[in-house]
Amino acid sequence: MSLDEDRRENPSAKDEPSSALQPGTQAPDFTLHSTPDQSVSLSEFRGQPVILAFYPADWSPVCGDQMALYNEVLPEFRPFNAELIGISVDGVWCHAAFARDRKLHFPLLADFEPKGAVAKRYGVYRRPDGTSERALFVLDAQGMIRWSYVSPVGINPGADGILTALEALKTKEIS
């Protein structure tokens, strides 16, 4: 699925998949702020696997655990040359405080304005809550979604699924 530039700039309900984008789908590109004066585009990571970790909110206890866990598991993602990116609807200042408090070593992106626009395009926005789902996507070096998982919002999905997906990518590359 490719989106033309116009629709990409102005995501409308038409672009919103009703459930999480599935493996085999090209991951929609996006640009979001990582800090007040820096932004990150997904396309910058072409050429390496990317892990997109959507989570509902900074500071909520389960999220803290999940991001703290990924922070700890980060060295295990390195052999795959994979980049981990956290995304929530929180603003940049909130992310900055959260990342500093938890000593996170990976970027948190602010899906803040228009709120949840990226989560909506990935089919993982929770309209009643105004936050994203707790959803994971593993993209290959070409930006194709190769694995996705939506966890019950109260349950930290852990890191095992990510590692298994990264291993599967590597096996595929070699064969």
Closer residue to another protein (CB): 97 or 155: 155
Site string for another protein, 142-171 (x = CB under 8 A): -----xxx-xx--xxxxxxx-x--------
User: CA-to-CA distance for 110 and 93, rounded, in angstroms?
Assistant: 9
User: CA-to-CA distance for 93 and 91, rounded, in angstroms?
Assistant: 6
Which class for 158: exposed (0-12), middle (13-18), buried (19 or more C-beta within 10 A)?
Answer: middle
Q: Which stretch binds another protein (CB under 8 A): 6-14, 36-44, 81-89, 98-106?
A: 98-106
Closer residue to another protein (CB): 22 or 31: 22
Closer residue to another protein (CB): 47 or 152: 152
Give just the sign of the alpha carbon dihedral 72, 152, 58, 11: positive
- Candidate list 20, 51, 109, 110; residue touching another protein; CB under 8 A: 20
- Candidate list 73, 94, 96, 144; residue touching another protein; CB under 8 A: 73
How many amino acids of this chain bind another protein (CB under 8 A)? 28
Stated as kind and residue range, the H or E segment containing 76 is helix 61-77
Which residue is catalytic, options 63, 87, 118, 136?
63
Q: State yes or no: is 63 an active-site residue.
A: yes
**Position 102 contacts another protein (CB under 8 A):** yes
User: CA-to-CA distance for 120 and 1, rounded, in angstroms?
Assistant: 15
Closer residue to another protein (CB): 44 or 65: 65
Site string for another protein, 29-68 (x = CB under 8 A): ------------------------------------xx-x
- Interacting residues toward another protein by CB under 8 A: 20, 22-23, 65-66, 68-69, 71-73, 76, 102-105, 147-149, 151-152, 155-161, 163
- Catalytic residue numbers? 63
